[in-house]
Structure 1
Amino acid sequence: MANHALNLNPPDATLHISTHGSDWLWAAFSIFTFSLLVMIVLDLMRPRGTRLFHQIAIVILATFTLGYFSMASDLGATPIPVEFRGHGSDPTRQIWYVRYIQWFITFPLLLLEVLLATGLPLSDILTTLFMSIVVVICGLVGALVHSTYKWGYFVFGVFALFYVWYVLLWHGSNTAFPGSGALRPGYLQSAGFLAFMLITYPICWACSEGGNVISPTSEMIWYGILDVLAGPVFLFFFLWHLSGVDYASFGFTSGRSTGTAVSEKPPVAA
């Protein structure tokens, strides 16, 4: 299937992924699909009303799965003239808008997954999610711009990312954690891991969609490794830390079930 994807859906850009790049994307798609199935099983094993974090993870993994199916099939890209490799006229490069649609959903949800485990006010969480959306939109618009003005969007996106780092590493870590702070060590490890992964995305963008230094196939391998680490690896790592925390200590429920008492506390108001 992977070997025939480029034949069934031929690339329409001068610089495009190779069959090896498509093979890697199918492998990443398999990882996301398997992780999604495992997460669904883990979700069903939990009592009703205690599935919020697992169900957010399911949405994230389902979105990654659909995104990588599209990219492995050589769908969801558009040709954009690029700089630095042209001789007289600039060649076109595949820009994968489907990847940014994927990140538009997964990036805010990854942050929501982590920040809901802290004592941050809802207003701070919503502001952080908005900044993550700004990062993705700036990356997409910058990738679609041919001129050097794309680096202006890159700078705006990096500044928005600085705010996300601040909340993850400083503001979030200094809040009063639920359950007498039992989750604090797990949060610090998870937030540190996620923050480090987020640093590498702008570097990859600068080398691929931005500076056109690496090929689309190398871009796919680089982004794919980052998405696997920031997606399934991070989610299973974070949920493992949550497994020892009393869900009722968060002060909210993800639903009510007849005969299932999750917590005597009322749900947190929005």
Structure 2
Amino acid sequence: MAKRVERKLRLFHLITGIILVTAHASYLVMACGMGVTWVRSFKHAADGAPVIRQVFYARYIDWAITTPLLLLDLALLAGLPTIQIIPLMFADLVMVLVGLFAALQDSSEKSRWFLYAISCAFYLYVLFTIVVSGRHAASLQSSGVRRIFNVTAGMIIVLWTGYPIIFALTEGKGRISVDAEVISYGILDFFAKIVFGFYLLIAHSHTEGDSVVLPESWTEPRGAVRYGAIASDD
């Protein structure tokens, strides 16, 4: 898909490609039995013994890389200024990392829910930025860009809200099994990464008013730009 457009218009392709490759590597690692640890759950078995539960920390490493990039896709599409993009991506990274520490917490249930609450607070900031600042910035773009932003932002809001809910039922309370947890997260990841990414690229390639056009210094060899010998698009 990237080869169908000029290099200066391939930023969304690059970001989305990195997201999908990272997610693929994460699931490959987990499928090979790595990226997982065991944590004592605060739910007890019938005989009173504590339950030991799997926590796939590889998933959080995946999210720490891919979710800020997903937001970068969304922010660049809307045309958010850099001064708002940086704290948005930082808040998302803190949200994921604090969630990881909450999942690994096995000494105090109160500490786990305290960390969960902090993670959710950063998520609320992410939502606020998308809904308020993102929509305002997108309203200044072409009608096609506004439409794509509304659809993709809606996907992110709906799908991402499912993650803390699953966390609360799994790592939080242990109400559903690890198998159900893996399936649930997998479904959300499929739509939040693959479906989101392909929709963004397909829809954006058929609309006018691209909000990101890379300069030649990003797309051509330095010497070619300096001496005016622009290389071929290959």
Match of 2:86 in 1: 126
SS at match of 1:82: strand
Q: 1:178 to 1:56 in 2, by over 3 A?
A: farther
Query: Is structure 2 residue 128 aligned with structure 1 residue 166?
Result: yes
Which amino acid letter does the alignment assign opposite residue 231 of structure 1?
A: K
Aligned equivalent of 2:61, options 75, 80, 101: 101
Which amino acid letter does the alignment assign opposite residue 108 of structure 1?
A: P
Match of 2:29 in 1: 70
The C-alpha deviation readout for 1:92-132, integer Å capped at 9, x for no partner, is 11111111000000010000011111232101111110111
Which protein has the bigger helix share? 2
Match of 2:176 in 1: 214
Q: Contact 1:179–1:246 (CA<8 Å) still a contact in 2?
A: no
Query: Is structure 2 residue 102 aligned with structure 1 residue 142?
Result: yes
Q: Contact 2:39–2:104 (CA<8 Å) still a contact in 1?
A: yes
Q: Contact 2:77–2:211 (CA<8 Å) still a contact in 1?
A: no
Equivalent pairs counted in the alignment come to 220
Q: 1:225-244 counterparts in 2 under 5 A?
A: 225-244=187-206
Match of 1:45 in 2: 4
Match of 1:24 in 2: none
Q: 1:240-255 counterparts in 2 under 5 A?
A: 240-246=202-208, 249-253=211-215, 255=218
- Name the CA distance, whole Å, in 1 between partners of 2:82 and 2:206: 24
- Give structure 1 stretches of 5+ with no counterpart: 1-41, 262-270
- Cα deviation for residue 179 of structure 1 reads 5.2
- The alignment's TM-score, normalised by the length of structure 2, stands at 0.87
- Cα deviation for residue 135 of structure 1 reads 1.2
Aligned CA-pair RMSD? 2.0
The C-alpha deviation readout for 1:133-179, integer Å capped at 9, x for no partner, is 11111110000011211000110011110111111122100115575
The C-alpha deviation readout for 1:169-216, integer Å capped at 9, x for no partner, is 221001155754430111011101111111100000011111111111
Q: What percentage of residue pairs aligned between the two structures are identical?
A: 33
Which amino acid letter does the alignment assign opposite residue 93 of structure 2?
A: I
